[in-house]
Amino acid sequence: MSLIRVGIYGKLPAHPDFISDGMHTDISNELYEWIQSVMYYSRERLEDNQWLSAYLVSPIWRMFVPENETRAHGWIGIMVPSVDAIGRYFPLFIAFETEFKALTVEWLFKEATDLFEVMEEVAMNALQQQLNVSQLKSLLANKLEDFNLGQKLVLPNPLNSEALEFSCEQPSTSNDAFLQQPLAQLDGVFWWTLSDINKYQKPFFKCRALPTSNEYEFLLTGTAVNTQSKHKAMQS
């Protein structure tokens, strides 16, 4: 796999404000506008202490965001709860661009699994050791020098016929058929984590756009999902 571009965006404890390196402006702008909105409304619904407690222990979320009519670049990446040196909360995003045309959904849960693990390890080191963005980039580059694509299929829960109702086009597709769908033909955003959150074990969901404020609350707490929403979270 050839990684076309690596992008870092968000906040780190070592910096007093936003950091942005290698991230296309349209991607960072979309993430900024989305996070500012959903964080504001989620904090309005939850008490400050409750929100902060949930935010700080929320899992690392993996994501696949395809290009579309309004998004010029598709990417895969992670979202990690973070904070800047002044104490202002905003996630850290690490994103990779690659050529998705020849890749299928299965690639996300097999070959890319080790790539996600590298991103997560580097992100946690950056937070715990208060690395600056240059040190983060250097650590990431070193990890990728000896990087090999994953060989084991690691599925979030559950990728079954019920979970496939996330797909607007093929709600009754079989599991195998879903995994073989080309990434370039998908029109929705994938979110999943290999951590448990509330009563959900390694949840996965697909939505047409980045999550709404109510659905973002699910990313933090594992609750407050709007049952009328097109976004759904699956429990094993």
pLDDT tens digits, residue range 52-92? 999 999 999 999 998 877 788 889 999 999 999 999 999 99
Q: How many domains does the chain have?
A: 1
Does a structural domain hold residue 233? no
Does a structural domain hold residue 228? no
* 30-59 burial: b if 16+ Cβ within 10 Å, else e: bbeebbeebbeebbeebeeeebeebbeebb
Does a structural domain hold residue 207? yes
Does a structural domain hold residue 127? yes
What is the CATH number for 152? Answer: 3.40.1730.10
**Listed residue (3, 29, 5, 34) closest to 18, CA to CA:** 29
**Listed residue (227, 230, 236, 9) closest to 119, CA to CA:** 9
Q: What is the mean pLDDT of residues 202-211?
A: 84
Does a structural domain hold residue 226? no
Q: What is the pLDDT of residue 200?
A: 81
Does a structural domain hold residue 236? no
More confident residue, 30 or 222: 30
Q: What is the pLDDT of residue 3?
A: 62
Q: What is the pLDDT of residue 236?
A: 39
Enclosing domain of residue 69: 3-221
Average pLDDT, the chain: 84
Does a structural domain hold residue 229? no
Model confidence pLDDT, tens digit, residues 142-171? 998 877 888 888 888 753 334 333 332 333
Does a structural domain hold residue 135? yes
More confident residue, 16 or 185: 16
CA distances from 79 to 9, 59, 123, 136 (A): 10, 9, 9, 15
CA distances from 30 to 37, 51, 150, 171, 198 (A): 11, 23, 30, 28, 28
Other CB atoms within 10 A of residue 233 CB = 21
Bridge-based pairing of strands 204-207 and 189-192 is: antiparallel
